[in-house]
Amino acid sequence: MTVLAHGTAAPGGQDDALARDALAVLQPGFEGTTAPAWLLRRLSEGLVSVGLFGRNIASPGQLAALTAQLRAERDDVLVAIDEEGGDVTRLEVRGGSSFPGNLALGAVDDTGLTREVARELGRRLAECGVNFNWAPSADVNSNPDNPVIGVRSFGADTDLAARHTAAYVEGLQATGVVACTKHFPGHGDTNVDSHHALPRIDADLDTLAARELVPFRAAIEAGTKAVMSAHILVPALDPTRPATLSPQILTGLLRKELGYEGLIVTDGMEMNAIAGTYGIERGSVLALAAGADAICVGGGLADEATVLRLRDTLVAAVREGTLPEERLADAAARVRALAGWTASARAAAGAVPGAPQGGAPGIGLEAARRAVTVSGTPAPLTAPYVATLAPVANIAVGHETPWGLAGELAELLPGTASGVFPEGASAEDVLAAAGGRTVVAVVRDAHRHAWMAEVLDRLVAVRPDTVVVEMGLPRAEPRGALYIATHGAARVCGRAAAEVIAGG
């Protein structure tokens, strides 16, 4: 039998089994809020996993209907999503998350709270029929200039990151939702976003063992069902290939040295760190050969042609001898086994997609309130002006998710006005727009943006009563009459800060 470049393969023995295995290891996406016919057809032919993104979600009810549509074709389908809470949300992509992210949880440093937040997040995912979460981030944010991790990390302290990673895994998986701990072997010490280029970490083996690997060891001990590889070059581990494509890192380190037996999934293969260096097709073959079990693709490539091209590429690689047949079969078996686990775990947790399951709906706001730190004394304000100094959001966060606190503060202080100021704006622009009102300057990672720091310094010099709210990584010295650090930009973080400003 010959597998055609554009699609269907005539059924027949071993070749048909190869095609089914090749489909099984893919995690593709799609466009729209209902499942297209081609996706349902491929599920019937051996596809096991589907990735969901913000473009696929309009409401909890719609999402539950979508996952029911998928499950009608394959009951044990793995429905994956990137729902970290905090800055990275897909469930609430258009309104902002009801849960603070990892940095806020690390700032509180209550593992019981982290476990409860993860459990509630998992409950909401399970209620919508989602059973695989590309979270948590176990990265130790040792480089404060990291452009892609930052508040997605529990913090810069290794032991803190490890204990909260374990708690998050335990809470999430208690609901029958797979935890996918990322980004192995650790993305925290980078200053390059792997969406754009290939980052490099030059730490030595001792540093990696004592810092990067510790949270992953904790996640494995906590029973994480999946681990996501990072598109990063770590010369101390492999001087030539990024982790996603490295046998030394995925098989030698993760499987053999750390003893991990669960599913290994790649980060998105269309990210430029892979697509721009090895190409998606070759990268997928190399990743599987290196030890990955599932190929994440679909964030930017979400069509049937991509799925068929990758399926046929993998089958051809087996035929050519560049991908061992046993390796593909082993990877497919691991994917199917995890799908089976989710079906039984869902039943054990009592998770019925589409049915309310109780839970702790206020836990996110409670956590966000506890994460806020304040310098200075709140002064009574009436109708202030909220100036949001807005950097360009990284791709993982997405530009479509709103952030800030203008709306939340307006609910508490009627008459509050607001404006958004991008790079290039000046303090004078803000003051002119404020028109004499007290300014509430809202920033995100001011330490990484010189223009933002300059605007803040000038505002505080001209108006010492300025309130500064840092919703990213709080690295700069506190400024203003009142300085609030929320440790993240989720909607609930904005609410918690607004309550402080409003005196409530």
What DSSP letter does each residue of 23-54 carry, written as one string?
HHTEE---SSSS--HHHHHHHHHT--EEEE-G
Name which of 132, 89, 172, 124 is nearest 358 in CA terms.
124
How confident is the model over 393-420, as a mean pLDDT? 86
Predicted TM-score (pTM) of this structure: 0.94
Give residue 4's pLDDT: 39
pLDDT at 198 over 70: yes
Q: Report whether 137 contacts 149 (CB < 8 A).
A: yes
Question: Any idea what the Cα angle at residue 468 is, between residues 467 and 473, rounded to 5°?
Answer: 160
pLDDT at 37 over 50: yes
| Rounded Cα gap, residues 49 and 24, in angstroms | 7
| Rounded Cα gap, residues 296 and 259, in angstroms | 23
1 exposure class (CB count in 10 Å sphere: 0-12, 13-18, 19+): middle
Q: What is the pLDDT of residues 321-354, one digit of tens each?
A: 999 999 999 999 999 999 999 988 877 776 656 5
Give residue 189's pLDDT: 86
Give residue 504's pLDDT: 55
Residues carrying an active site annotation:
195, 267
Q: What is the pLDDT of residues 143-162, one digit of tens each?
A: 988 888 999 999 999 999 99
- Confidence bin at 1 (pLDDT 50/70/90): very low
- Which is it for strands 49-52 and 417-422: parallel, antiparallel or unpaired? unpaired
Q: Which amino acid, residue 127?
A: E
Residue 422 burial (CB count, 10 A): 11
- Domains of the chain, with CATH numbers? 14-349 (3.20.20.300), 372-502 (3.40.50)
Angle separating helix axes 37-45 and 304-320, nearest 10 degrees: 30
Give residue 380's pLDDT: 84
Angle separating helix axes 13-24 and 37-45, nearest 10 degrees: 120
Mean pLDDT of the chain: 92
Q: Give the largest CA-CA distance in the chain.
A: 78
Give residue 352's pLDDT: 58
SS3 200: strand
Give residue 6's pLDDT: 40
- Confidence bin at 92 (pLDDT 50/70/90): very high
Name the phi and psi angles at 149, rounded to 5. Answer: -100, -80
Give residue 11's pLDDT: 44
Give residue 396's pLDDT: 61
Q: What is the pLDDT of residues 426-472, one digit of tens each?
A: 999 999 999 999 999 999 999 999 999 999 999 999 999 999 999 99
pLDDT at 214 over 70: yes
Q: Report whether 315 contacts 20 (CB < 8 A).
A: no
